Amino acid sequence: MRIGGSDAVGIATRHAFALLKPDAVVRRRLVSALEWLSVRGWRVVHARRFRVHRWAVRAFWQYQWNTATRDRREMADLYMSATDSLVLLLRAPHDGEWASSILTRGKGSSDPARCRPGQLRHALGTLNQQLNLVHTADEPVDLIREIGICCTASERADLYRALVDGVDAADEAVDRARRLEADHEALDLSLTGTVARLAGRSVGGGERALLRRRLTGLLDGRTTGWRELVALADRAGVALSRWDRVVLGTYLLVPTLPGVVPLVSDASAAGVGPPQ
C-alpha cells in the first residue's frame, strides 16, 4: 500500500498517535505534555481538537472493552466527552523501532502506583486508572486505525501528506493547546480536593450530615459505592457537576470484570500497565 507516494509501513512505524484527554485539559497539562515530548526529541507533525463521543470511546478501546465493567463504560462516556481532546501525530526521535512502542513505554502505566519517574503520566500527575491524562496507540496498525477514528477521508489525505513532508507543527500544537485550555475552567480533580469542596457544601443535618460523613470517610480509607454516594447527594440537595461525578466514580468504581481477558493483549501490559 502507498500513501502520498511513500511506503505506508514506513510512515506508520516512524510516527505515533497521542490523545491528550479532557482531564489533561481542565488540569492544565497540555503544554506540559508538549514540553515533555519536545525535550525527548518527539516532533509534532499534526495537532487537532477532537470531541470523543461514546462511539469513539468504543473504537479506541475496542480490543480491551470486553473487560470493562458497566461502571467503567459509563464513566468513560461521561468524562471523555466532557471537553475536546488534543490529538497529536508525532515523529519519533529516532528510527529502528516502532514509534508507537517507544511512546507507549514512555507514557507509563495508568495505575499511579506503577507509573515511574520520567514517564509522561508520572510527569503530568496521573490520578487514577481512568483519569490518567493521555492515551496512545500501541502499535503502527493502531495508529492507522485511530487516525481513522478522528479524521474524515479528506482530512486523512491531508494528514498523510503532512507525515510524508515532515511538517513541523509544534507552534500550532502549543497554540491549539492554550486555546483549548482557555475554553474550559481549570479544575482540581483530586479526590482530596473534590471531597473538601463537596463536604464544605454539605452543611446541616439529616442527609447532608450523612453525605459529609461519607465523603470525609473516603479520605480515611472507608469506601462506598459511587452510585450510592451520588444518590445521597441528590437526596441531600447537593448538586454534583459532571466532573464531581467523574472524580467520585473513577476513584470508587471497580474497573474490570473478574476473570475476563482482553480480546487483544495490551502492548504495554508487561511494562507499563493496562490500557486507557
Q: Are the beta carbons of 126 and 274 closer than 8 angstroms?
A: no
- Bridge-partner residues for 44, per DSSP? 90
Place of cell 483549548: 180
Q: What is the pLDDT of residue 272?
A: 33
**Residue 261 neighbours by CB under 8 Å, 6+ apart:** 67
**Cα atoms in the 13 Å half-sphere on the side-chain side of 118:** 5
Contact 140, 13 (CB under 8 A): yes
pLDDT in the model for residue 95: 87
For 155-169, the DSSP string reads HHHHHHHHHHHT---
Distance of CA 225 to the CA centre of its chain: 23
7 φ/ψ angles, rounded to the nearest 5 degrees? -70, 125
Q: What's the pLDDT score for residue 273?
A: 33
Cα atoms in the 13 Å half-sphere on the side-chain side of 175: 5
Point out which residues pair with 135 in neighbouring strands: 19
pLDDT (tens place) for every residue of the chain, 276 residues total: 455 455 788 889 999 999 999 999 999 999 999 999 999 999 999 999 999 999 999 999 999 999 999 999 999 999 999 999 999 999 999 988 999 999 999 999 989 999 999 999 999 999 999 999 999 999 999 999 999 999 999 999 989 988 888 889 999 999 999 999 999 999 999 999 999 999 999 999 999 999 999 999 999 988 889 999 999 999 999 999 999 999 999 999 999 999 999 988 665 544 333 334
**Which residue from 188, 233, 173 is spatially nearest to 209, judged by alpha carbons?**
233
- The model carries a pTM of 0.92
Please report the pLDDT score of residue 6 as a whole number.
57
**Which of 41, 267, 11, 5 is closest to 163 using CA atoms?**
11
